[in-house]
Amino acid sequence: DLDSMARHVLIGMLGSSAWDRGPHCTPGQNCSFLLYQRDATSSEHDELAREVARSGAILLKNENGALPLRRGMQVALVGSACSADFAEPWQQWNTGDYYTIGGSGRVLAESQDRWDVERGLSEAKDRGEISELVVRRGDDVDDAIDAMRNVDVVIACGGARSTEGTDRASLELDQHEFLVNLARRRSEVDDRELPPLVTVALAPGAIMTREWEAGSNSILLVFLSGQATGLKRHLLM
């Protein structure tokens, strides 16, 4: 069994020329550059990141066909998680974000390859796939309600982080209170004045939805989708 397991590892290393391509990190060296700053980007890696982001999302709820977005729609984007920062290589080795887990297996994208939800929808607007994009980057419910008026759909985001060696303090999203209050405020306003609400959750695993789920027409769980999080083409028809 040991020979078989070692064979699987060694075949992969030999097939990828792992021993032929330098530089290598050996005991006694300062390996921080190779571990945290080495540029391993390729067009194949970028395409794989896009495919993983597309395939990994789960549509938990979709009332009245709120998703996918239709061409020409006017969209409001609310909540800090829609535009959250990515972790930087110089930060602590186990710093996590809404796109990748923190820890020794962490892979961080270069700035030009970082696609949050806002950037993805901004590109959709530039391409003419949606006609208008109204953005509120904070977690202010009044601002969010104001942004909802005169658009066809509103997208709210919530996120959660995870890191190696530490349990999550809660199964709630970091923006849980914002999402709960947003759902409550929407219920107090005449439904004819506000568009459908799509909630996008960026999370490392299980989440609690029960306090804001009823107020969302659609819930899309994208997990930690890496650098291509905002390039989910299935958001659009």
The sign of the CA dihedral 76, 78, 81, 86 is positive
pLDDT (average), residues 96-114: 90
Q: Global pTM?
A: 0.85
Helices (H), 93-157: 117-126, 141-148
Does residue 119 surpass a pLDDT of 60? yes
pLDDT range class, residue 69, cuts 50, 70, 90: very high
pLDDT of residue 6: 95
Per-residue model confidence (pLDDT) at position 199: 97
Inter-CA distances, 77 with 47, 81, 98, 148, Å:
26, 10, 17, 9
- pLDDT-derived band at 21 (thresholds 50, 70, 90) equals low
Question: Are 175 and 216 spatial neighbours (Cβ–Cβ below 8 Å)?
Answer: no
- Bridge partners (DSSP) listed for residue 92: none
Each residue of 172-195: pLDDT tens digit? Answer: 999 999 999 999 998 887 656 789
Residue type, 127: R
pLDDT at position 128:
93
| For residue 204, cis peptide bond before it (omega within 30 degrees of 0) | no
Q: Tell me the pLDDT band of 33, cut-offs 50, 70 and 90.
A: confident
The pLDDT of residue 53: 92
For 83, other C-beta atoms within 10 Å of its C-beta total: 18
Among residues 109, 70, 72, 64, the alpha carbon closest in space to that of 225 is found at 109
Q: What angle do CA 38, 85, 221 make, to 5 degrees?
A: 100
What is the C-alpha to C-alpha distance for residues 76 and 214, in angstroms, rounded to an integer? 20
Distances (CA, A) of 173 to 68, 69, 223: 23, 24, 12
- Given a cut of 90, whether residue 77 has pLDDT beyond it is yes
pLDDT at 22 > cutoff 70: no
- % of residues, the chain, pLDDT over 90: 68
- Closest C-alpha to 134, from 73, 64, 67: 73
In this structure, of 12-26, 121-135, 160-174, 202-216, the range with the lowest mean pLDDT score is 12-26
pLDDT of 170: 94
Q: Which residues pair with 220 in a beta bridge?
A: 59, 200
**pLDDT (tens digit, 9 = 90+) per residue, 79-104?**
999 999 999 887 888 899 999 999 98
